[in-house]
Amino acid sequence: MAVIHRTTMQPGKTELLTAWLPTRPWYAACADGPRPVRAGGFRLDDPEGEVGIEFMVVTDGTGPDAVAYQVPLTYRADPLAGAEHALVGTAEHGVLGKRWVYDGVHDPVLVERLHALLDGRAEPQAQTATDTPDPTVAVSPLAPGGTGAGAEPVRVEEGPDHTDVVVREPGAPAPLVLRVRRVLRADGDGGTADGARGRVTGTWQRPEGTTVRGTYATALTAATGLTEFTEFTA
């Protein structure tokens, strides 16, 4: 169980994202530069208690042109070997000391926990309270009762408005794609038109104060032939 500390972090999370967001292929440049504002999200607990896991939603811009982005982040006490390309930045936590902050889709701990969430084996947690489930996050699981299987990450592929993490489930005939929406849209429960096997939806607040719901992540059956390991290596 992650403990939420009432303390400071320097630089702050949105400060780190201000510099990092413009480097992403799915970021739409804002006329007055990136000014991310926290707008929602949730956490997942690391069973080992070592890695902080947060799915942060920020809005950038004002009025009807504001864009909502989802940024999964992991917080570590030490650098993650081989993940230099995924480092968002470092920050000094008022209680825990120096933290390495990563784009979580490249962190195997977050990937495993996202799969567990979609499989019904993990529960979304509130961003600002310890041991408090977040009832605003809804999960349509991979299968009734879940598959009960773990997942081994294979590779990450960036899309124009999403990031795909390809994982392999033991004994499964084909890999699974965990699609993380980077650019969020208010689409209610997300529907089923995209053929998703599982779905996570949640809410966020628009700049004018209205709360909307949309798809955070989906699980899709991968195309055949996705077998090479290109990022996640032992």
**Per-residue pLDDT tens for 120-152?**
999 999 998 878 999 999 999 988 777 777 888
Least confident segment among 12-21, 85-94, 131-140: 85-94
Residue pLDDT, tens place only, 160-207: 999 999 999 888 888 999 999 999 999 876 655 577 889 999 999 999
Domain of 97, in residue numbers: 9-221
**Spatial distance between the Cα atoms of 90 and 209, rounded to a whole number of angstroms:** 31
In this structure, the number of other CB atoms found within 10 A of the CB of residue 185 comes to 13
Domain count, the chain: 1
In this structure, the number of other CB atoms found within 10 A of the CB of residue 110 comes to 26
Least confident segment among 81-90, 105-114, 149-158: 149-158
**2 part of a folded domain:** no
Q: Residue 115: which pLDDT band, with cuts at 50, 70 and 90?
A: very high
Q: Residue 5: which pLDDT band, with cuts at 50, 70 and 90?
A: low
Kind of pairing between the strands at 52-60 and 183-184: unpaired
**4 part of a folded domain:** no
Mean pLDDT value across residues 67-85: 96
pLDDT at 234: 33
Strands annotated E in the chain: 9-10, 37-44, 52-60, 67-76, 87-93, 97-103, 138-140, 152-158, 162-168, 176-181, 183-184, 198-205, 211-221
**3 part of a folded domain:** no
User: Is the pLDDT score of 230 beyond 50?
Assistant: no
Residues 6+ apart with CB under 8 A from 180: 70, 72, 105, 114, 162, 163, 164, 165, 216, 217
First to last CA, the chain: 26
**227 part of a folded domain:** no
**156 part of a folded domain:** yes
**122 part of a folded domain:** yes
C-alpha dist (Å) from residue 227 to 17, 173, 220: 32, 12, 16
pLDDT at 227: 42
**Spatial distance between the Cα atoms of 98 and 93, rounded to a whole number of angstroms:** 6
Q: Residue 74: which pLDDT band, with cuts at 50, 70 and 90?
A: very high
Least confident segment among 30-34, 183-187, 210-214: 30-34
User: Is the pLDDT score of 1 beyond 60?
Assistant: no
Q: Residue 226: which pLDDT band, with cuts at 50, 70 and 90?
A: very low
Q: Are 40 and 205 in contact, with CB atoms under 8 Å apart? A: yes
Mean pLDDT value across residues 196-220: 95
Percent of the chain scoring above 90 in pLDDT:
67
**234 part of a folded domain:** no
**209 part of a folded domain:** yes
Mean pLDDT of the chain: 87
